[in-house]
């Protein structure tokens, strides 16, 4: 999770520097070109989807654990696992160590905020610009 977080942050910063004209293929082999901001948003969305319910009402993070998938007392309890299965997103390892996995809160917040507005997270870009300017002025 920390590497993904750093990748998203770095892509957003590089986009701030390189702008909308610098594009890469995302996903690889798709032929679809995106600027770095859009790539960061795509990665954020994918990470967030591990914790969100899918079309069948199941959260990938819980894998086959039915109690967390269906029990009304447990299904909205979000656990932050130590590792995640690479193919299905199921949480693996300790679920009481929220440290690094807690970093997913920012991408989840960004995705939720801008999905509700129906746009790419431009406000984050403005916020990033303000933070970068603060760092330059120090």
Residue with tokens 């939720």: 112
Q: 14, 130 in Cβ contact below 8 A?
A: no
pLDDT at 94 over 50: yes
Hey, what are 49's tokens? 């989807």
17-42: burial string, b at 16+ Cβ within 10 Å, e else? eeeeeeeeebeeeeeeebbbbbbbbb
Question: Is the bond preceding residue 27 a cis peptide, omega within 30 degrees?
Answer: yes
Q: How many alpha carbons lie under 13 Å from residue 78 in its C-beta half-sphere?
A: 15
pLDDT at 119 over 90: no
pLDDT class for 25, splitting at 50, 70, 90?
very high
Write down the pTM of the prediction: 0.74
Residue with tokens 């590497």: 3
pLDDT at 114 over 70: no
Residue with tokens 């996903």: 27
């Amino acid at each position: 999770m920390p590497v993904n977080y750093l990748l998203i942050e770095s892509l957003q910063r590089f986009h701030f520097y390189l702008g909308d004209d610098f594009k890469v293929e995302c996903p690889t082999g798709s032929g679809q070109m995106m600027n770095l901001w859009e790539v960061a948003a795509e990665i954020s969305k994918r990470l967030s989807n591990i914790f969100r319910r899918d079309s069948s009402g199941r959260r990938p993070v819980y894998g086959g654990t039915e109690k967390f998938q269906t029990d009304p007392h447990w299904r909205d309890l979000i656990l932050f696992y130590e590792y995640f299965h690479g193919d299905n997103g199921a949480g693996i390892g300790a679920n009481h160590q929220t440290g690094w996995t807690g970093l997913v809160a920012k991408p989840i917040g960004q995705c939720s905020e801008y999905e509700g507005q129906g746009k790419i997270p431009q406000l984050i870009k403005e916020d990033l610009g303000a933070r970068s300017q603060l760092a330059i002025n120090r």
